[in-house]
Amino acid sequence: MKSWLPVLGAIIVLTIAAYARWTPPSRAGDLRPRPDALEYESGARNMLHGTGYYLVVEGRRYPPRYPPGFSVLLVPFLFAWDGGPGSGIIAVLATALIGTALAIVTGHLVAGPLAGLVAGMLLAASPAHVRLSRMVMSDVPSACVVASVGLVLAAAVRRPPIRAWALAVTGLLIGCATTIHVTNALLVIPAAVVVATLGGGPARAAALASATLVGVAPLLLYDASRFGSPFATGYGRWATISFATSFATAPPVGGGTEPNLSFYGRTLAGLGDLYPWPWAVLIALGAVCALRSKRRDERAVVMLGALFLALLCGVYVTFFWQASRFLIPALPLLVALAGLPFASHRARTTRMAAASLVLAGLLVLARSPALYRQDMFLGEADMLREVASKTEPDAVLVIRTNEHFFSLLLRANGADRVWVPLDLDEHMLAVRWFKPPPVDPSTPVPAWIDESFAGPYAADRAPAAMHALLATGRPVYVSGLLGNQVPWFRAFLQMLNLRFTTTRVATVPGVELYRVGELGGRSPRP
């Protein structure tokens, strides 16, 4: 193969990957799924502004539920450019492309240029990987770091014993991956097995474990200082989590439509959105090729990928929530396996069978375009910008949103708008349910947050609360943004129409914005 062809192929694969994944930051600006994406980006923005890795709820700081690694990764991107909610998607896209490039290089190193291109193409075309690359979520960056671990180990075991620098780099990368997603700590087990059996024996495996401990030390220190134990996390402060063997045979209580065992079995068999079923067969074929091979790098890939996947499944099959994204970190290792049958030293029949499986998988994906459909786009951030453009800088806004969005979009550039939450946002509600201790409990609720309508709707007290808002002399507006999430919103509007004047203000289609005034008199300000 001519030397420039693999480079051209890699450029084509990465271009396709970028095209499939590109989404404007404004579209990612909903920061969904909640609370994950919202916490990741708001935590990064708070670090950038000197507040620290915290969530700010009603003016008080709380440790987030997730480790800080992904938010730390977002900080330099937000420092370079911050266009508001969703800006962190640039970092996710970058790690998606880097991870794809690492898959190409790993496949090339182990089984030749064609194997590398196949591995990169399979990762680039994974529906789940594409979809998660369009969200400010940690799964794709997590997979990128895992891919780097696979590349370093595959290269290092080719000439045992593994050198000290390779052990150090591998351990530090596993530690880095753990700060992004805690379950990536499981990767140290298959990595140690690879090193012990293929890279120089137990002593070097112990050195790898020591390097991993150094890499994960910042996270352990963070957890110890925040939660009182190096093995505690913030998750339990914000939600009730549980593990149970019963979730393997019955739908998990947190979220899921079928038992975890069948869900993850179907997903790995290619009947979900991770990859199509012919590629599941191709991955299995690659594993067989590696197990029959005498090449250390091929055996390292199968050992690392299979053991890591087994450990992930062992954890998540008992977890109270189910999602294919939990397996995304292992995907670069799986696609590297899928490339192994294309090695030039394989039998021609093996390579032909592998090529047929690749084409069959592409045909399955072509017949399933819904797998690539982007999740629902509500446009919350864009609509809040529109509301800001239609209201005075000192207006009172009775609106359903969250504190991070309101402070970022409606109080920017010196604006002094007051937020009256329509019911409780997800973090206000979690504070009341789970009562996580803030780090600054004496900090009062900011004066720009008025909780007159936060919590259960009291029809008998609502008119008095609205009169009090109008008495401040500020212009008062009520927005229908996300009003469908507030059960009593229509009853609230009916009360306003009966007891006050409501003037509809033009805004984006589908979102109501009303100027509220006293009945029988003019609004406090024309």
Q: What is the DSSP string of 267-316?
A: HHTTSSSSS-HHHHHHHHHHHHHHHH---HHHHHHHHHHHHHHHHHHHHH
Mean pLDDT of 498-512: 84
d(CA 157, CA 295): 9
Q: What is the rounded CA–CA span in Å between residue 293 and residue 290?
A: 5
What pLDDT, in 10s, does the model give residues 261-284?
999 999 999 999 999 999 999 999
Q: Residue 320 pLDDT more than 80?
A: yes
pLDDT in tens, 341-369: 999 999 999 999 999 999 999 999 999 99
Q: What is the mean pLDDT of residues 383-404?
A: 95
Give pLDDT, residue 392: 96
Q: Is the pLDDT of residue 456 over 90?
A: no
For 313-347, letters b (16+ CB in 10 Å) and e give beebbbbbbbbbbbbbbbbbbbbbbbbbbbbeebe
pLDDT in tens, 413-431: 999 999 999 988 899 999 9
Note the pLDDT of residue 519.
Answer: 86
For 233-254, what is the mean pLDDT? 91
pLDDT over 60 (residue 526): no
Distance CA 69, CA 145 (A): 11
E strand or H helix that includes residue 513:
strand 513-518
Q: How confident is the model at residue 525 (pLDDT cuts 50, 70, 90)?
A: very low
Specify the pLDDT at position 1.
59
Comparing 346 with 255, the larger pLDDT belongs to: 346
Determine the distance from the C-alpha atom of residue 236 to the mean position of all C-alpha atoms in its chain, rounded to a whole number.
18
Rounded average pLDDT over 481-501 = 92
Q: What is the DSSP letter of 491?
A: H
Pairing of strands 418-421, 396-399: parallel
d(C-alpha 333, C-alpha 330), whole Å: 6
- Map out the domains of the chain with their CATH numbers: 4-229+242-372 (no CATH), 380-518 (3.40.50)
Average per-residue pLDDT in the chain?
94
Q: Is the pLDDT reported for residue 307 higher than 70?
A: yes
**Res 403 pLDDT > 80:** yes
**What does the pLDDT look like over 21-51, one tens digit per residue?**
999 999 999 999 989 999 999 999 999 999 9
Query: DSSP letters of 47-64?
Result: HHTTS-S-EEETTEEE--
Mean pLDDT across the stretch 230-240? Answer: 90
Cβ(526)–Cβ(410) below 8 Å: no
Is the model's pLDDT at 65 over the cut of 70? yes
Evaluate if residue 166 carries a pLDDT over 50.
yes
Neighbours of 308 (CB within 10 A): 26
- What is the SS3 assignment for 125-153? HCHHHHHHCCCCCCHHHHHHHHHHHHHHH
* Average of per-residue pLDDT across 387-415: 95
- Region 222-245: mean pLDDT is 92
pLDDT score at 521: 56
Rg over CA atoms, the chain: 26
- pLDDT over 70 at 522, yes or no: no
Residue 122 and residue 108: Cα distance in Å, rounded?
14
CB 104 within 8 A of CB 70: no
pLDDT at 510: 66
Beta strands in 424-512 (DSSP E): 476-479, 500-504
Mean pLDDT within 315-344: 96
What's the pLDDT score for residue 454?
86
**Predicted confidence (pLDDT) per residue in 119-157, tens digit:** 999 999 999 999 999 999 999 999 999 999 999 999 999
pLDDT in tens, 461-473: 999 999 999 999 9
